[in-house]
Amino acid sequence: MSNKLSGQEKSLLEKIADSSEELLARRAMIILMTDGGSSAANIAREVNLTPKTVQRWQKKFVQKRLGIFPEGLFAANPLLTLVTETEAGAKVQTAPRPAKAKKAKKAKKLRQSEAKTEYPVRNTIGLEPTDSLAEAGRKVLSFHFGRMLSHEPGTRQGNDIEALHDMRVATRRMRAAFRVFGSGFRQKTVKPLLVGLRTTARILGQVRDLDVFMDKLQQYQQILPENEQAGLQLLLETWSAKREQARQEMLAYLDSKKYRRFKKEFLKFVTTPGLGVKPISDDKPVPYQLRYLVPGLIYDRYEAVHAYETKLEKATPETLHQLRITFKQFRYALEFFAEILGEEGERVIEAVKALQDHLGELNDAEVASHSLRDLLAEWDQNQAHLPLTERQSPTQLAAYLEAKLEERQRLLETFPQAWACFNQPELRRNLALAISVL
């Protein structure tokens, strides 16, 4: 996508991304993540769409800019209309910004206040077979909400990249939990919580993705001869600068009223039994307890995975990308219910993890390849403006791209074997035995 976002465009897109309109929010996230330097494959992973769909919206935005959104969106929302008018050049009075020192001091006090009321982190979720779907979901969400909060201080400090990784994982698991348990709640209650989770995951993801890229690049750099390592320094510096910008945006978000309000609302939700629960009919027997619902919830997700078997012989990267997402949903469901399943469930989870890891490595290689291609194209454009004697060769960048393409090819070639290890009668027996205890 060409042309960077203007300040007004970015502000507007952030508001749309934070809205409860799922389809429009995804569209806005595509443009925001593109502007932040994410590749199509990486964006697709975050918004649960195919890379081709992401690229289609990227191209449309270049052609139409904000015209990719329905006109009625702006008419229905005065705040969005205000931003659009600003984009067109209208004069809008804005309140003077408070001094940075004052804002920083206030944010510090708020963080200290929050630290005094830490949310407990538990070792187990505490599910029971007789739990209702909704209250079981509340337990799962409470468990991962505690983990998200526990990793926030480390994420802010930035000394250990695993703190950010773990905080992001917690947000992803909460989003997955709403897919599993969401039917037990009123949409009016959970929609604002999902919006907050989506925003938080997006902000954290922009930093985490660059952490992964830089870590893998540094590993590759270390195995090169010393005289060749400098050829990758430009790429490291480019990603490092993008990461620092993304990190500053992340810290600003974590200090924002929006994030504090999200945490307050989520805390109320996970600590108030009955809040937002759909009523259960007394007229006829309705399966609402886990012991009745879990078999169907798990087998539905297993069937969704198994159905890919007919498509794998000539699978496209987009197909494998969707399979990875489907596997993730299957794994999360198994892990959410692990406490009430038989011990065989652990073996199923291990098999699912093994194949999901394979698909994850394949996706990482795909994402890195796209990023490197984009960087090489940008390199050529920048070099074209220099005198011939000052132009540099991107030899090591090209070599790193080749290494990533070779890794991608190896993972593609070994995927049938990885699938065969997963797709065994033993796994189906273990799955049935794990569920049979209910």
Asked whether residue 386 falls in the same domain as residue 418, the answer is yes
Structural domain boundaries enclosing 366: 290-436
CATH number of the domain within which 143 lies: 1.40.20.10
Residues 420, 421, 424, 429, Cα dihedral to 10°: -160
Mutual angle of helices 161-181 and 317-336, in 10-degree steps:
80
Asked whether residue 294 falls in the same domain as residue 415, the answer is yes
The SS3 of residue 413 is: helix
- Predicted TM-score (pTM) of this structure: 0.74
Asked whether residue 108 carries a pLDDT value surpassing 60, the answer given is no
Q: Which of 134-138, 396-400, 414-418 has the lowest mean pLDDT?
A: 396-400
236 phi-psi bin (left φ>0, alpha ψ -120 to 50, beta other): alpha
Which one of 92, 123, 148 terminates a domain?
Answer: 92
Q: Quote the CA–CA distance of 438 and 291 in Å, as a whole number.
A: 5
Which one of 92, 125, 159 terminates a domain?
Answer: 92
Asked whether residue 237 carries a pLDDT value surpassing 90, the answer given is no
Confirm if 280 and 293 have CB atoms less than 8 A apart: no
Write the single-letter amino acid at 86: T
Asked whether residue 329 falls in the same domain as residue 274, the answer is no
Q: Mean pLDDT, to the nearest integer, of 321-345?
A: 95
Asked whether residue 427 carries a pLDDT value surpassing 80, the answer given is yes
127 phi-psi bin (left φ>0, alpha ψ -120 to 50, beta other): beta
Q: Mean pLDDT, to the nearest integer, of 110-134?
A: 77
Name the residue among 419, 404, 367 with its Cα closest to residue 46: 367
pLDDT digits (tens, 9 = 90+) for 37-48: 666 666 766 676
Q: Quote the CA–CA distance of 327 and 180 in Å, as a whole number.
A: 14
Confirm if 408 and 358 have CB atoms less than 8 A apart: no
Asked whether residue 192 falls in the same domain as residue 310, the answer is no
Asked whether residue 397 falls in the same domain as residue 409, the answer is yes
Dig out the tokens for 20 from the structure. Answer: 């409860």
> Mean pLDDT highest for which of 2-16, 65-79, 414-428?
414-428
pLDDT digits (tens, 9 = 90+) for 165-213: 999 999 999 999 999 999 999 999 999 999 999 999 999 998 988 888 8
Dig out the tokens for 57 from the structure. Answer: 């919206």
pLDDT digits (tens, 9 = 90+) for 264-283: 999 999 999 999 999 887 77
Asked whether residue 274 falls in the same domain as residue 344, the answer is no
Asked whether residue 258 falls in the same domain as residue 225, the answer is yes
Q: What 8-state DSSP symbol labels residue 339?
A: G
pLDDT for the residue numbered 87: 39
Confirm if 17 and 28 have CB atoms less than 8 A apart: yes
pLDDT for the residue numbered 104: 56
Q: Mean pLDDT, to the nearest integer, of 238-254?
A: 90
pLDDT for the residue numbered 1: 54
Asked whether residue 329 falls in the same domain as residue 419, the answer is yes
Percent of the chain at pLDDT exceeding 90: 49
> Mean pLDDT highest for which of 10-24, 58-72, 120-134, 214-228?
120-134
Write the single-letter amino acid at 242: K
pLDDT for the residue numbered 379: 75
Q: Which of 110-119, 163-172, 291-300 has the lowest mean pLDDT?
A: 110-119
Which one of 269, 288, 307 terminates a domain?
Answer: 288
Asked whether residue 11 carries a pLDDT value surpassing 80, the answer given is no
Percent of the chain at pLDDT exceeding 70: 84
**Average pLDDT value for the chain:** 83
Confirm if 345 and 433 have CB atoms less than 8 A apart: no
Asked whether residue 217 falls in the same domain as residue 358, the answer is no
Asked whether residue 150 carries a pLDDT value surpassing 80, the answer given is yes
- Torsion sign (Cα): 213, 366, 167, 350: negative
pLDDT for the residue numbered 81: 46
Asked whether residue 195 falls in the same domain as residue 332, the answer is no
Asked whether residue 332 falls in the same domain as residue 425, the answer is yes
pLDDT digits (tens, 9 = 90+) for 59-98: 777 777 788 877 666 555 544 544 444 333 333 333 444 5
Confirm if 352 and 419 have CB atoms less than 8 A apart: no
* Residue 58 banded pLDDT, cuts 50, 70, 90: confident
The DSSP bridge partners found for residue 277 are: 185
Residues 19, 330, 122, 290, Cα dihedral to 10°: 100
Q: Which of 78-82, 392-396, 434-438 has the lowest mean pLDDT?
A: 78-82
Q: How many CB atoms lie within 10 A of CB 3?
A: 10
Dig out the tokens for 244 from the structure. Answer: 């620092």
* Residue 106 banded pLDDT, cuts 50, 70, 90: low
Asked whether residue 361 carries a pLDDT value surpassing 80, the answer given is yes
Number of domains in the chain: 3
Q: Quote the CA–CA distance of 31 and 13 in Å, as a whole number.
A: 8
Asked whether residue 233 falls in the same domain as residue 126, the answer is yes
Asked whether residue 418 carries a pLDDT value surpassing 90, the answer given is yes
